[in-house]
Amino acid sequence: MSRAKGKNKANSETSESSSSDGGMGTLQTTAVDLEQSFSPIQDPPQTPYMVIPAPLEPSAISSVQSQLHYQNFTLFKYFVSSTSITLAVSNHEDTKHLWSQVVPTLSQAHPFLFHSILAVTTAHVAKRFKGVDSAKERLLEHLKGIHFAEALKLLALQLEEGVHEINCHSTFVGNCMCVMYLLSQRPEASSRRTLDISWALHLRRTCLALPGILPLVREGPIGLLIQQHPPIPPCGRSPSRNIQSMFQKLHSLCIDFDILGPDASEEMNDVKVASAYYTTLYQLRKLWATLEECLVFWVHVDQPSVFASGRHPGTLHMEIIHFVLHSPSLFWDMLQKKSPRALIIYSYFTLVWEGLDLALSKLEGRDDRGGKWWTEGRAAMDIQGILDDLDLMAKSAEDLRNWRDWVTAASNVLGLMKREWWLVDDMYASPGSASTSDIQAATPGYLLV
């Protein structure tokens, strides 16, 4: 009975997609404006944008084109040919096919997924025009906000009406794209920053609202997104000296209640809060174990063909999501309250984005240390936001200096990761890598102070 209802719903959604898109007609630019927005910048040779799966069959694109404004059709085509490949965290053809073929096909019957595609694509193009053409940049910034707002409205409606075996696949992958969209957002450098965790809060809220669909998704057309990506790091070896030193110091946040000063110690009198911090650090250590296992793999593999078959970035990406979903709710509550202890712990979590970015750049065989447009620079932005939040929370210069020392140490670790100097143990370091003394000399306070 539910399946029949779902099919009727899917059919109605097809017509809704057309009407939803048509309702934005007053916001469209001319065909000339849009065509120019996609033509001036060409990707350099040998980038992943130049090696993409074949697009949708012409007949499939034609059926979509008949229902869309020229602008949205152009964005849709750009997703198929370029943006889709940037969302994959694996270099495997089946993953590329999922993003460039399966997802666009699903969107034809599901308006939420359709607008998620347009939002992510516009954000991708806007990032490429940032600082290049201010007029087109403003236009694209405006458009991406419109499509994302529409996607969120349709997501809320879909959750209210119910997610079932017909629409669960489009709902899941569309929600993944909403998270990527939120991750990609970067504030203007001139504006005062604050830590943005909207992507994590959105992920936690929506996953709680999607109970019981994972078995259906796993067996469906997008199941590859939630499968474990072999080779899976065994985490069976001892952590490096850096990891041991870092977490020994971080655990003192849960043992020494006064380590951040009297104003930050009161929260630790609540056993539930103290336990939440301890559990979060336990989860974070597991995440860093996966990260370091992956770093060892990337540092020692010097054959591009091995990168093509390695799925370590996918493994690390899954562990990041696992951390967000399984760390205690109280930790996220304290983070929203700008607790210095929570902010400091988060500064060491966000460093993992740099590790993922490095992994993706290695996977794609790039030497510019650039990974994906939606992860690149995320860790640095978060750390600056945390420092600005601490500036606002501190009641004394002494407290501020103490808190900033912790986050500055995290920033130093970020610098080491960018230089691929994090692995300094003799048994893990690559040939010719810097020694511990070299790193200490180059980056004072390279670990926690």
pLDDT per residue, tens digit, the chain (449 aa), is 444 444 343 344 333 433 334 333 333 333 323 333 333 223 333 332 222 233 344 444 444 444 457 788 899 999 999 999 889 887 778 888 999 999 999 999 999 999 999 999 999 999 888 878 788 888 888 999 999 999 999 999 999 988 988 999 999 999 999 999 999 998 765 566 789 999 999 999 998 877 788 889 988 999 888 876 555 555 555 677 888 889 999 999 999 999 999 989 999 999 999 999 999 999 999 999 888 877 776 655 554 444 444 456 778 888 999 999 999 999 999 999 999 999 999 999 999 999 888 877 776 654 444 458 899 889 999 999 999 999 999 999 999 999 999 999 999 999 988 887 766 554 344 434 444 444 444 343 434 43
- For residue 447, the number of C-alpha atoms closer than 13 Å in the C-beta half-sphere is 16
Of 253, 447, 409, give the one whose Cα is nearest residue 340.
253
Token pair in block for residue 43? 């990707």
What pLDDT is attached to residue 190? 56
Of 436, 400, 415, give the one whose Cα is nearest residue 358.
415
- Say how far apart CA 194 and CA 388 lie, in whole Å: 6
What pLDDT is attached to residue 188? 67
Are 232 and 315 contacting, i.e. CB atoms less than 8 angstroms apart? yes
Of 95, 64, 86, give the one whose Cα is nearest residue 77.
64
Helices (H) and strands (E) in the chain, counts: 22, 0
- Say how far apart CA 333 and CA 204 lie, in whole Å: 12
- Say how far apart CA 97 and CA 105 lie, in whole Å: 11
Element of type H or E holding 231: none
39, amino acid identity:
S
Are 100 and 84 contacting, i.e. CB atoms less than 8 angstroms apart? yes
- Say how far apart CA 16 and CA 21 lie, in whole Å: 8
CB atoms within 10 A of CB 172: 24
Q: Which residues contact 377 (CB under 8 A, 6 or more apart)?
A: 186
3-state helix, strand, coil in the chain (%, to 5): 70, 0, 30
What pLDDT is attached to residue 191? 63
Element of type H or E holding 121: helix 111-129
Q: Strand, helix or coil at 114?
A: helix
- Say how far apart CA 408 and CA 390 lie, in whole Å: 12
Residue 40: left if φ>0, alpha if ψ -120 to 50, beta else—which one? Answer: alpha
- Say how far apart CA 61 and CA 73 lie, in whole Å: 9
CA dihedral 422, 425, 430, 435 (to 10 degrees): 80
Element of type H or E holding 443: none
Of 298, 284, 277, give the one whose Cα is nearest residue 246.
284
Token pair in block for residue 257? 């209640």
- Say how far apart CA 360 and CA 85 lie, in whole Å: 12
Burial class (CB in 10 A: 0-12, 13-18, 19+), 152: middle
